[in-house]
Structure 1
C-alpha cells in the first residue's frame, strides 16, 4: 500500500518548480535582453523586464546583416543550419537502416566483423579524425558547399546499432511468411521493416537533428564563405569583438532563433520519440 504523505508531495512539487525555474531563467533573460537597445547593457546590469525594441531588434537580425563582419542575415544562416541538420539526419538514418538490414538479414562472409568495425567507430569522434576528413573534403573540392557540410557526418554507428537491435526482435516466422508470400528483399524492407521501425526512426530523427543543428567545429573548418555560415557559428563570431563591444541584444535574438527548431522538433515528435526509446530497450 502506498502511503499518502502530503509533505513528500509538497517537496516533490517544489523541486520540480525549482528545476523549471532553473532551466527557464536563462531563456527568460535572453528573451528580455532581445527587446532592449544595446545601451541597456553598458552598465553591466541585465534588465529583467521587456523593453520597447522587440520588433526593431528581431527585424534587424533576421533581415539585415548579422554584424561583426558577417554580411549575411540570420535567416540565411538558419536555412544553412536547417539544410545541414536535415541532410545529416536523413543521411544517417538512411545509411544506418540499410546497414543494419544487411547485417541482420543477409548471410555473407565476415558479417560479424563488419558490424564490429562499424561499432568501433563510436570511439572515433569527428574531433579525432578532423584532419584526414578535412583533407579528403578539400581534395574533392567540397569546401564552402552543402555537400562538404553534410557528407562527412552522415555515417552513424549508434543508429546502425539501434536498428540492428530492433531488427533482431523481428520473429523468424515473419521473415519466412514474407518469403512464402513472394516478398523479395526490397519489398520485405519497405512493406514490413520500415513500418515496424517507425518509432525508432522518429527517436533517431530527433537525436540526429539536434546533433546536426548544434554542429560547430566542422562547419567552422570547412566554411570560409559567409553564405554557408551556420547559426551556431554566427553566435560565436558575434561574441568575438574588439574591446568587449558586444551587441548583446542581437546575440540574444540569434540565440533564441537557434533554440527554436530543436525545441519544435522535440515537442512535435515527443510521443514518437519516447516510444522509440522505450522500444529500443526491448
Structure 2
C-alpha cells in the first residue's frame, strides 16, 4: 500500500502541532512562573521565558509548605497512589479469577453486586466509610488512606472480560499437568495479563494521586497531608499575598510522578487498551 502524501498530510500534522501547543502552553506558563521572582509575576506582562530563580524557588518549595514540607507531601501521595493502584489490581485479579474459574452458589449474583458498586462512588458512602475507619483507629494513617479505596468494580469487570477470552484448553492442559488453581493463575493468567495490568496501573495510579476529598477528611496530622491538599493550602485567605513562584513550583513537582508513570509505561499502556495478548 502506497502512503498518500500531500497537503492533507501537512494539514494533519499542523493541526496536531496546534493542539499540542494549546495543551502545553498553560504548563509552560506554570513552569516559567516557577523560575522567576514574585515581582516579575505580578507585574504585567508576565514573562514567557524561564528566569534565574529556578533553584531558589524549587528548593524553597521542597523544604517549605503551609503545614508540612512539600517533599513529605509528595512522599505521602506517592505511597498512597502506589498502594491504591497495587491493591486495586491485586484484589481485582483475584476476584475476577474466582468469578470466571470457580463454580459456587450465587456466582453471578456476587458479580453483579460487585458491578453495582460502580453506582456508589466514595462521595456517596463517605460517611459510613469514615465511621468504619475511625472505629478501627486508622485515622491519620496510610492504612486509612489506602484501604477504603482499593476495591474496584471496574478493574474486576475488565479482568473478568479478559479471562473469559482465554481458551479453556489452557486451563484443561494445566489441570492435566497437575497444576493447581493458584499455579495456573500465577504461571499462565498473570503473564498473559501484563499489558492489561499496565494499562490499569497507569489509570489507577493517577486516580490515587489526584485524591483530595478522602485524604482531607481523614487526615488532621499535617505530616499525613498529600500534595493535592498541600497545593490548596498554599493559596492564602483574606488579604494575604500568594507566593506564586513557590505555588507554581509545587504544581510542577506534583505533575512529575504521574508524567513519569505515563511516559515510562506508555507502550504497555497503549497495548493494554487496544489488544488482547494470548
TM-score (norm 1): 0.94
Are positions 1:252 and 2:248 aligned together? yes
d(CA) in 2 for partners of 1:57 and 1:76? 17
Report the count of equivalent residues. 278
The aligned counterpart of 2:49 is 49
Give the superposition deviation at 1:13. 1.6
Give the superposition deviation at 1:36. 1.1
d(CA) in 2 for partners of 1:245 and 1:280? 53
d(CA) in 2 for partners of 1:44 and 1:95? 53
From 183, 205, 212, the equivalent of 2:208 is 212
RMSD: 1.7
From 161, 174, 179, the equivalent of 2:175 is 179
Give the superposition deviation at 1:46. 2.4
d(CA) in 1 for partners of 2:133 and 2:44? 44
The aligned counterpart of 2:230 is 234
1:107-158 deviations in whole A, cap 9, x for unaligned? 0001001100001111111111111111111111111110110000000001
TM-score (norm 2): 0.96
Structure 2: gaps (5+ residues) = none
Are positions 1:9 and 2:6 aligned together? no
d(CA) in 2 for partners of 1:46 and 1:217? 33
- Residues 1:45 and 1:129: Cα distance change in structure 2 (over 3 Å): farther
Structure 1: gaps (5+ residues) = none
From 74, 77, 95, the equivalent of 2:70 is 74
The aligned counterpart of 1:95 is 91
1:165–1:280 Cα contact (<8 Å) kept:
no
